[in-house]
Amino acid sequence: MNRIIIIIAILSVLVASSCSHKKNVVSKGKEYETEVIKEDKKKEKKKGRDSRRYAVVEESRKWLGVKYRYGGKERSGTDCSGMVMRVYEHAAGIKLPRDSRSQCDFCRKIDRRELAPADLVFFASKAGGSRVSHVGVYIGQGKFIHASSSKGVITSSLDEQYYVRHFFAAGRVPGFDDKSAKREEEEIIAVKEDTASPRPGDKEAEALRRAVLESLKDK
């Protein structure tokens, strides 16, 4: 009689464990679906950021050849900060301050090695100086578009000696930061870790199964 009771108990444990496992499969399926959705959202956000950066670079290219005019901000004539202000206004819908020094203060400073297309590069009036007097739009591969007082809007290289000596800072316009993407990656990692961790139901079923097996050994 005792053996029959024990067998029934084992069967009950196995059935309960099987049900728990099915629930976990469903739960994991939902978590996998959540993970896929978050991955898709991450790609969409990244694509959105990349498209805005592309738009800024393309808008900057449209200004190539425009003559320099101090205080100007139109394609009939522009200075460096006027062009940058207009480019961001038209391509990204972001209103930047009017002068290069204020634009520098407005941006989040980044390391030069972190530069990405659409970031801004700032230069001092004197080599090694601390007074910002010039700004350009970085377009990648070490090059930037800016309004030169002697040549108008042109493309230059950050490796040119003049710009190496006068380089002041690299800046990222608010709204083009990648912190939101980092938060999403952390959320996705958390979901993966949660999926990999054992369920409370699994632990209880396993403990009960072991207890029953131990009792059988004693018989």
Q: Which of 21, 90, 104, 146 is catalytic?
A: 146
- Give whole-number Cα distances, 125 to 22, 131, 134, 177, 206, in Å: 69, 6, 7, 28, 73
Q: Which of 21, 80, 90, 104 is catalytic?
A: 80
Residue 146 among the catalytic residues: yes
Q: Is the dihedral of CA 19, 24, 29, 31 positive or negative?
A: positive
Q: Which of 104, 107, 134, 166 is catalytic?
A: 134
DSSP symbols for 94-145: ----SSHHHHHHHSEEE-GGG--TT-EEEEESSTT-S-EEEEEEEEETTEEE
DSSP classification of residue 77? E
**Among all residues, which ones are annotated catalytic?**
80, 134, 146
